[in-house]
Amino acid sequence: MKKIFMPICFIAAGIIFSSCNPMKPAKGPEDEIYVVADSAEFTVLEPVIDSTFERIINTPQPEKLFTVKRISVERINNYKDRKNLIFLAPLDSKSETSRYINNVIDDAVRNKIISDSNLIVRKYNLWAKDQLVMVLSAPGMRELISKISRNADDLLNSYQKISDKRLFESLYNSHFEQKNVEGRFLKDYGWIIYVQPDFKVAVNDSVNHFVWMRCSPESDVERWIFVHWIDNASPAYLNPDSVRIIRDRMTKKYYHITKNGGYVVIADDYYTTSEANFNDRYALLTQGLWDLNTKAMDGPFVNYTFYDDKTHRIYMIDGSVYAPKYYKRNLIQQMDVTLQSFMTEAEIKPGRKEDLLSAAN
């Protein structure tokens, strides 16, 4: 089904910003979405809103992808600097939020909302930098519930993408990235991934095409990233069974505890594989829990596996978290965002390539 996205045409006073007053970055936790709605209408809409944005991931404890917080339209001035905002009301309800929506969109957008049942109205950088403000409206309440339900995946994905963008900008620091390590990966293997200052290379196995980086080993919060590749490969490897077999083979070999023979495997619970777009490539996204075969440790992981046409390689890029005393939703998102910094040599701009290769020498 075709999904329509349209920028918001706001006409209310005070919304247009001058270039002389640069926006400040949006504030607030990444996993909070503020929904501007009247209390009575929100009671009706809350089930479909919660099922859209408050989806549960298991890390292994259940955690919400986002937490929804309702505010009244009268309080909007106190929340204009928040990262994630939604205005929620039917056009015909005459509620305060409905009147607000009708006042700040122009006639063309209003008519489009009425005529197009799949229209999603969103605006980036409205009141703050890297902010996403969305208007979810429809002619009536039943149509609005149906619209949210039909477009749930797209609505969630919009907030996940802007959150990933903000998070990468907060993680990435050109002054502290380990360019010498990245340059060696580029020189020796033809790929790079962003290496944060607190990561160390634990395994660099050129024979078996496996690189493992660790952050804070033996601590309360550990993060692991590995890159594995198969030369002269076939896209036929891109199936869920192969992903599981290859990952378990790699972690059994490299993610092990010497003293008791324990090693990491994919847990049976909460294991999913889905199709994904990884930097404009078809990929399999695998998510779930890892644990030891001895059941002594566990945690979440995220894995992208894809075929690269130019190098004829299958790449598997994987991030894991071990933090038994803490919530891990934000930690596994950091892993996901870091994995998405992966690039092959053909994707690197010439100036950056030269800089990295110089750092490797």
> What tokens were used for 43?
């009671």
pLDDT tens digits, one per residue of 57-94:
999 999 999 999 999 999 999 999 999 999 999 999 99
Asked whether residue 19 carries a pLDDT value surpassing 50, the answer given is no
pLDDT at position 12: 40
Question: If you average pLDDT over residues 242-271, what whole number do you get?
Answer: 89
Q: Please give the distance of CA 108 from its chain centroid, rounded to a whole number.
A: 32
pLDDT at position 259: 66
Burial class (CB in 10 A: 0-12, 13-18, 19+), 56: exposed
pLDDT tens digits, one per residue of 103-141:
999 999 999 999 999 999 999 999 999 999 999 999 999
Phi, psi of 347 (to 5 degrees): -95, -10
Closest CA relative to residue 226, chosen from 242, 258, 241, 248: 248
- Per the CB < 8 A criterion, the answer to whether 48 and 149 are in contact is yes
Q: How many residues does the chain have?
A: 361
CA distance 241 to 247: 10
CA distance 90 to 12: 19
Which value, to the nearest 10 degrees, does the dihedral of the CA atoms of residues 202, 204, 208, 209 take? 110
> Which domains does the chain possess?
4-171 (3.30.379), 179-360 (3.40.1000.10)
CA distance 133 to 120: 11
If pLDDT is split at 50, 70 and 90, which confidence band does 262 have?
confident
In 74-113, which positions are buried (b, 16+ CB within 10 angstroms) versus exposed (e)? Answer: eebeeebbbbbbbbbbbbbbebbbbebbeebbeeebbeeb
Question: If you average pLDDT over residues 160-173, what whole number do you get?
Answer: 93
> What tokens were used for 124?
């980036």
pLDDT at position 219: 85
- Per the CB < 8 A criterion, the answer to whether 25 and 37 are in contact is no
pLDDT at position 11: 44
CA distance 114 to 140: 9
If pLDDT is split at 50, 70 and 90, which confidence band does 21 have?
low
> What tokens were used for 201?
């290379």
pLDDT at position 52: 98
Query: Longest Cα pair distance anywhere in the chain, in angstroms?
Result: 70
Cα Rg, the chain, nearest whole Å: 23
pLDDT tens digits, one per residue of 197-237:
999 999 999 999 999 999 988 888 999 999 999 999 999 88
pLDDT at position 261: 75
pTM: 0.89
- 2-6, 53-57, 199-203: least confidently modelled range: 2-6
